Amino acid sequence: MAEKPKTPGFETLAIHAGASPDPTTGARSTPIYQTTAYVFDDVDHAASLFNLQTYGYLYSRLTNPTVSVLEERVASLEGGRGAIAVASGHAAQMLAFFSFMEPGDQFVTSNKLYGGSITQFGRSFKKFGWDAIFVDPDDPENFRRALTPKCKAIFVESLSNPTGVIVDLEAIAAIAHEAGCLFIVDNTMASPYICRPMRWGADLVIHSTTKFLSGHGNAMGGMVVDSGRFDWAQNDKFKSLSEPEPAYHGLRFYETFGDLALTVHGHAVGLRDLGATMAPLNAFLTITGIETLPLRMERHVQNAQAVAEYLAGHPAVCWVAYAGLPQSKYHKLAQKYLPKGAGSVFTFGVKGGYQAGVTLVEGVELFSHLANVGDTRSLIIHPASTTHRQLTEAQQIAAGAGPDVVRLSVGLESIADIIGDLEQGLEKAMRLRNA
């Protein structure tokens, strides 16, 4: 009896998945197909493409050969059936919910999300009639209690930005599935190298590929990955996939495309109508970045752990919220869901409040003071004086962005230089306090 070929390892997939040599030229690196459209063989071929009866490129708002390579790459790393690349992480969230939400529908979401997602869900989604119900994710039962008959999904982040909250993915997945709801997990902060949410029951995984996947702080992008395991016909919540689609003459996506239904729908309807397409150049940069994802993530978490331990022992620091530290309340969950490390983005509190935070971010020389995470470069921000400055102090504290909070995204520079820069920055903050 012959053995089946083994599934390649993560590192192999990170380099090869989706990217065979270019069939036309033999180019080994994925070419940048900088084109808006593609010629039809004849009228019949064009009709087949428009009717989704054959596979092929039609118009780059929907699909593009460079972008397709990235989609397959990320789908493969997440263990998904397919993926839809979009212009940003926010576009990914918009497209994911757009694929099944109708006006009046609801979903339950963690209230410990990236602030931009809270605003998108809480404000802009309202304009579509989509109602987000926010709950504290620390107790999975909070999701069950908040579910209503109109709920279609539960949304969480595997590792929250910037609060470092880790949720019990497996328990929440079970609650979602019992209610016939989708379980959607944003895996941006962990990356598939550290956490594979589909292993724990996620149906869709969302990424801002702008962060660790592209990894170099040079390309915007987002991704919706579909596990292909969700039964869209199990109830009447997902009619856009299970019932006839008028714009495609009554085609039923689930019946016609099976476990590819959402992937096809995301391109043929989602990208067609939302138009938040990823640029081929950004796809190329992200493909190149992902090739080194395993190596980068290994060093990111190693450096982050060292910085967190250093800060935890520093006299100018009041607290450190990093799940890699044994004193973190999320340490146990981190060991289960993020066994390779608790990511490299976290917050800590600096003694001396607002002014000390400002002095620190202005005093560092290696860390870059900016609003991004997941770069090769170490990044720092003081949310109270930047991203969260419109909020009252009470609102800032509720959002985990109080006056003393500083967020780091620990990069890949020499660890001695990273710690040395924080050392001198914290000294400046302490001098101010003692002055």
Partner 1 sequence: MRGLDEGWIVDHDDYSDQYLREILASVRVIAMVGASEHWNRPSYFAMKYLQDKGYRVIPVNPQAKGEEILGETVRPDLAAIPEKIDMVDIFRRADAVPPLVDQAIAKGAKVVWMQLGVRHDAAAAKAEAAGLKVVMNRCPKIEYSRLHGELAWSGVNTGIISSKRRKL
Residue closer to partner 1, measured from CB, 268 or 334: 268
Considering the rule CB under 8 A, would residue 395 count as an interface residue with partner 1?
A: no
Residue of the chain from 29, 54, 234, 235 that contacts partner 1 (CB under 8 A): 54
Residue closer to partner 1, measured from CB, 84 or 185: 84
Q: Select the span of 159-167, 235-243, 254-262, 372-380 touching partner 1 (CB under 8 A).
A: 254-262
Residue of the chain from 30, 60, 66, 80 that contacts partner 1 (CB under 8 A): 80
Report 228-247 residues binding partner 1 (CB under 8 A): none
Give 243-281 as a 3 state SS string.
CCEHHHCCECHHHHHHHHHHHHHHHHHHHHHHCCCCCHH
Shortest spacing between CB 395 and partner 1, in angstroms: 39
Considering the rule CB under 8 A, would residue 71 count as an interface residue with partner 1?
A: yes
Residue of the chain from 251, 366, 391, 415 that contacts partner 1 (CB under 8 A): 251
Report 10-49 residues binding partner 1 (CB under 8 A): 12-13, 16-18, 20-24, 26, 48
Considering the rule CB under 8 A, would residue 5 count as an interface residue with partner 1?
A: yes
Shortest spacing between CB 69 and partner 1, in angstroms: 8
Q: What are phi and psi of 271, to 5 degrees?
A: -70, -35
Considering the rule CB under 8 A, would residue 90 count as an interface residue with partner 1?
A: no
> What CA–CA distance (Å, rounded) separates 246 from 252?
9
Shortest spacing between CB 278 and partner 1, in angstroms: 11
Nearest one of 205, 170, 200 to 187, comparing CA atoms: 205
Shortest spacing between CB 288 and partner 1, in angstroms: 17
Considering the rule CB under 8 A, would residue 291 count as an interface residue with partner 1?
A: no
Shortest spacing between CB 247 and partner 1, in angstroms: 12
Considering the rule CB under 8 A, would residue 51 count as an interface residue with partner 1?
A: yes
By rule CB under 8 A, what count of residues binds partner 1?
Answer: 53
146 CB-near residues (< 8 Å, 6+ apart)? 108, 133, 135
Residue closer to partner 1, measured from CB, 34 or 51: 51
Residue of the chain from 10, 57, 128, 134 that contacts partner 1 (CB under 8 A): 57
Residue of the chain from 250, 313, 315, 326 that contacts partner 1 (CB under 8 A): 250
Assess whether the previous peptide bond of 65 is cis (omega < 30° from 0): no
Considering the rule CB under 8 A, would residue 279 count as an interface residue with partner 1?
A: no
Residues in the site for partner 1, rule: CB under 8 A? 1-2, 4-5, 7-8, 12-13, 16-18, 20-24, 26, 48, 51-57, 63, 65, 67-69, 71-72, 75-76, 80-85, 248-251, 255-258, 260, 263-264, 266-267
